[in-house]
Amino acid sequence: MQTGRNNRHALVVGAGIGGLATALALGRAGWRVTVLERAAAIGDIGAGIQLSPNGVRVLSCLGVLEGLLPTTFRPEAVEMRLGRSGRQVFRIELAETAEGRWGAPYLHVHRADLIDALLTGTVGSGLDITLHTGSAVKSYEQSPEEVTALLDSGRRVSGSLLVGADGIHSVIRSQMLGAGEPRFTGHVAWRVTVPVERLGRDVPPPTACLWVGDRRHAITYRLRGGALANLVAVVERDEWRGESWTERGTRQDALADFGGWHPTVTTTLREADAHYRWALFDREPLETWTDGRVALLGDACHPMLPYLAQGATMAIEDAQVLARQLEGTDDVPRALLSYSATRRPRTARVQAGSPQTGSGSTREAPSPTCPCGSWGNLLPACTTAGWTGSTDTGCLDRLLPRPIGKGLRRQSPAEAFRTVGTTGFEPATP
C-alpha cells in the first residue's frame, strides 16, 4: 500500500471519546479512516464528564460543538464545601469568566451525549470514515510501507497508520510495551446519576461542587441542561482487584460510606437507581507512545485519575495534535514521533497533578483553625490548570509547596492564584 496524500488510510482501534475524535480529526484532514470497535454496539455507558475550555475549543474545531451544546450544562462556578455541614470554603466564578479568559466555556456533559455528537460528526458527516463494531483487534504487524490490524475473527485490515485508542486495557499498548501492572491508589469511586426532579430541595447547586471530608470526598454537578444530577463520591479502601468502571454496588453500601454527610450527597445516593463502583488505578507516564506506523492515544498511553477532570479533554487534544502533525507529510513514523514528543510533557504534567489532588482531598480532616485544612492543596492543582480567581488566599498562604513529580513543583496558593491557564485550559500546542 502506498502512503501518498491522496490515499492515506488510518486504522483507529477503539470508538471511545479519543478514538472518535481521532477519526473525525483525521477525516477532516483528508484521511480515509476505519474505526475498529470491540463492542457489538456503541451503548449508553458512563456518566458525567467535565469539559474544560481547552477541550471545548477542539470540539468546536471538529465541528461537533454546536450539536453538543443543547445537551450540556454550563456551571456558574467551581466551589468547595465541607461534606457534613455544607459550609462553603471557596467559590470561583466560571460561567461569565471562562470564555473571556480561555476563549471557550466550561461545560458538563453526559459521556453518552458526547459520544453521540462525535458519532454524528464521523458517520453522518460525509467524510470517508467507516465504523465497524464487533471488531476486536488482537494484534498488529507492520512493514515499512503499511501496518495491519489482526482481528479476533481472522480478518486483516491494512492502512498506512494505526492509532491505539483502545483504553486503559489497550491491546495495542500491551503489544508495543508489554502489559504492565497498574497500581491501586487506595481510592474507590461511586458514580450515580439522578433526575433532579427526584431530589427536591437537596438538588446539587448549579456548580462544579467539591464536598470534602475525612478520607473521602464527593463531586456534584448537573447534566443535560440541568435536568440530571451527577455524583462521583470517592472513599479509601485498603485493597481492590479489577479496573472495571461498570461494576455495580449497592445503595446500602454507598450510603454507609457517606453516612452523616450533607443531604445533597446522601439524597442523591439514596434516589439513584444504579450505583456503580470504580476502583481508581494509577500508571506511570509512558516514555514511548509510538512504534513505527503505530501510535497510542488517550487512556491507552496516559490514563488519568479523575481529580483534575482532564481525562477526556487530554484525549481530545491528542486527536487534534496527531492530525496536525500528519499534515503535509508522507513520513508517518516521523510525524508520530513528533506527536509523541509534543504531547508527552503536557499529559505527564496532568498525570502528576491528578494523584496529588486526590490524595490531598481525602487523607486528613480539616484543621479547627483553618477551614481549608489540607484540602487547600486542591487549590494549587485547580488553579494551575486554569482555575484562577480571587487573590485573597487567606489562610491558604501558610501551605507549603509539595512535589508533584519529576522536575515538577506544586505552587503555593498565592503563586497559583496568580497563574492563568499554565497547564490545563490554554490551547494544546501542536
Residue with cell 504492565: 180
Three cell numbers, residue 32: 480515509
CA dihedral 243, 54, 196, 17 (to 10 degrees): -40
Using CA atoms, how far apart are residues 379 and 385, in angstroms rounded to an integer? Answer: 10
Nearby residues of 100 by Cβ (< 8 Å), 6 or more positions away: none
Using CA atoms, how far apart are residues 304 and 105, in angstroms rounded to an integer? Answer: 22
Using CA atoms, how far apart are residues 160 and 32, in angstroms rounded to an integer? Answer: 10
Residue with cell 474505526: 35
Is 106 known to be catalytic?
no
Residue 405's closest CA among 421, 386, 426, 381? 381
Catalytic member of 106, 140, 221, 307: 221
CA atoms within 13 Å, Cβ hemisphere of 276:
18
Neighbours of 257 (CB within 10 A): 21
Residue 362's closest CA among 288, 322, 307? 307
Catalytic residues: 221
